[in-house]
Amino acid sequence: RLNAANGQVNLTQTDARVYEGTLAAKGSLDARGNTAVIRFDSALTNVQIEPAMKALELGDNFGIAGGINANLQANTRGVTMNQLVDGMQANADFSGAQVRFSPLNIEQKFCELVDLVNKSDSKGLVAWDPFTEMRELSGKITMANSVVNVESIKAGVHQLELGTNGKIDLAAGGYDLMLPMKLLNEETSANGCRVPGN
- Confidence (pLDDT) at 36: 94
> Degrees (nearest 5) of the Cα angle 100, 104, 107?
85
- Confidence (pLDDT) at 13: 94
Mean pLDDT of 106-122: 84
Residues 177, 185: Cα–Cα separation, whole Å = 26
Percent of the chain topping pLDDT 70: 96
Alpha helices, H only, 4-118: 49-55, 81-86, 106-118
pTM score, two decimals? 0.79
Print burial letters for 107-139: b (CB count within 10 Å at least 16), e (below 16).
bbebbbebeeeeeeeeeeeeeeeebbbbeebeb
Which distant-in-sequence residues (6+ apart) come within 8 Å of 137 by Cβ? Answer: 66, 94, 95, 96, 97, 99, 153, 154, 155, 156
Mean pLDDT of 110-124: 80
- Confidence (pLDDT) at 26: 97
pLDDT digits (tens, 9 = 90+) for 55-85: 888 767 788 899 999 999 999 999 999 999 8
